[in-house]
Each structure stands twice: as C-alpha cells, then as structure tokens.
Amino acid sequence: MGAFLEERLPVNIRLGASFVDGYAVEITTTASGVEYRKLTHPHPIRTGTISFTMLRNDLAGQVLDLYHRAYGTYAGFRVKCVDDYSTNNYTGIPTAFDFTAVKLTDTTYQIAKAYGSAGTPLSIGFPYRKIYKPIAGSILVGVNSVAMNYAWTASTTTGIITFGLNKTSTITGITKASQAVISTTGGPYFVTESAHISGVVGMTEINGKRGVITSVNPGVSITVNIDTSSGYGTYVSGGTLNLNPQTGESVTAGCYFDLPFRFNSKIEVGSLSSDVRDCNLEIIELIAP
C-alpha cells in the first residue's frame, strides 16, 4: 500500500494496448512429474503494455506529467479498461445484486466482482476482484435480494460500503395480508427503507425475511411487501425489526469502476517527426492500493 493519485490514465487499456490477467499459483513438480499447485489468493492480477503516439505537447501534458506526478513506479492511478468496467458481466448496467460484497466488519463491506460466472465454479468458489475504485453515482447495494436505497454510504476511493446507525423496533403484531402490516413500538421510526424480521412467535415463517417498507404509520405500524395471506402461521408474540444487515443476510453490490495501477517501467520517448512522439509503458494492477 502506498501513495495514490485519484486520476485516470488518459487512454483506455485496449486502444493501442494489450493486457494479461494472471493468478498467483505456486507450482512444485516432483521428479516423477507430479504437480502440486497452491493458489496464493483468489484474485486475478492484470498487467498491461500501452503504446502512445501523440503530438509532442499532448504526450507531455497527458502522459509524461502523470508519470512524473506518480514518481514513476511509486504511486498508483486509475485505469478504465474498456472491456471490463462493470460488475455486471464486463460492460453491463450494474445492479444491486451483481456479486457478494466482502464482509470486513458488521457494518463495512468491500465491493467485489466475480469472474468466470458463466460456468460452474470450483469448490473454492469464483475468483473475484476487489473493487477499490468505483465510479461516483454508479454504486448500488442489496441485502438479501432487496435493494437498499438508504442507510449506507460508499467510498469511491476505497470501494468500502458503510452502513450507518442501525434502527431497531419491537414488533407487537403482524397481519395476514398480501402486504403484511407490522405493528411496532419503541425505537426510531422506520421510513421507506427495508427491514429484517426476527424473533417472531407464531408466524415463524416470516423470521429471517427482509421486507421493503411500502408505507408507514409513524410510531404505530409499517407495511411491507411480504405476502402473509397464506402459508404463514398466526402471529402470537414477539419479534424485532432491524434496518442494517443481520447475521445470515447476504450483502451484494454493483457499480462501474476503474482499476488501480502503477507504472511498471521507465518511460522512453521516441521522436517520429518534429512534433509527433511515441512511447511504450508497462503498467501493473495494485491488488491492495
């Protein structure tokens, strides 16, 4: 980890460039030819070679200046890869349910993206890339397949989602209806958010579910989009509403993103004419920027 410039390399990684994804695998071969392979971590690491041919002043202002601001190989910067900039497949519109976020604490989660999801993964799961540089305004969050439009913030410089102060309320009744009305008492008022339900006696089928709150009678009840009209027992007593993710709930996220890179070579500039220059640069992804 080290210094980072929150600016984007002024060209994408495909035009005039190539990139390679690789994995950190340790391979030991015995005298009989048997291989023993150890996967160091499940994250792909991207390297690239970029070629620039630009007017002298453009190259200086857009590429050479960034190289010097980064002190060469010292500091990182953002790169947009035009074939891979979304958590939804590679270039699709992000959704709140693209991939499971990596839990850091009970209230913080790291955005991540899966690779190889068109097929069946190994028993260790899909490889994934931690997304440290999401694009502002594109981040979406879901909890247990319910989009969370409130109660969280996300950093565009770390990719960490942070849930705020939890709201909790005591349940005193639940109706059987196409949209259940949950009577509540105590605690802060819920608004048009979503709520996790637990500890209910009688209507036990509703425990562990998260419902979108469709209407609110402040301090009295909320209505959620859970159909309890059939297949549910009758409410007897107890129960708690919680706003934040609870044990056993899956937090997912989606976004557009850049990737963090650093220069991995010295810069050499060639003169093609009196005002045209070219140069080649190697760059390498930072997996812990």
Residue 60 has φ and ψ, to the nearest 5°, of -65, -45
Closest CA to 160 of 146, 142, 143, 139: 139
Query: In the CATH hierarchy, which top-level class contains the domain 168-242?
Result: mainly beta
Does the pTM surpass 0.85? The reply is yes
- The yes-or-no answer to whether 4-83+258-285 and 168-242 have a common fold is yes
Q: What is the DSSP annotation of 277-289?
A: EEEEEEEEE-S--
Question: If you ran DSSP here, which 8-state letter would residue 65 be given?
Answer: H
Residue type (1 letter), 100: T
Residue tagged 């074939």 (tokens): 83
Which of 242, 231, 246 is closest to 180 using CA atoms?
Answer: 231
Q: What pLDDT is recorded for position 13?
A: 52
Which is nearest to 141 in space by CA: 181, 83, 194?
194
- Rounded Cα distance between 140 and 127, Å, is 21
Rg over alpha carbons for the chain, rounded to the nearest Å, is: 25
* Edge-first strand listing for the sheet containing 152-154: 102-103, 108-110, 160-163, 152-154
Domain limits, the chain: 4-83+258-285, 99-164+250-254, 168-242
**Among candidates 267, 256, 286, 258, which has minimal Cα distance to 49?**
267
The upper half-sphere exposure of residue 219, i.e. CA atoms within 13 Å in the direction of its Cβ, equals 0
Q: Give how far Cα 255 sits from Cα of 32, 66, 110, 122, 131, Å.
A: 48, 26, 12, 25, 9
pLDDT recorded at residue 239: 97
The CATH number of the domain covering residues in 4-83+258-285: 2.40.30
**pLDDT of the chain, 289 residues: tens digit per residue:** 789 999 998 765 555 678 889 999 999 999 999 999 999 988 999 998 888 888 888 888 888 999 999 999 999 999 998 889 999 999 999 999 999 999 999 999 999 999 998 899 999 999 999 999 999 999 999 999 999 988 899 999 999 999 999 999 999 999 999 999 999 987 778 888 899 999 999 999 999 999 999 999 988 999 999 999 999 999 999 999 999 999 999 999 999 999 999 999 998 888 989 899 888 889 999 999 9
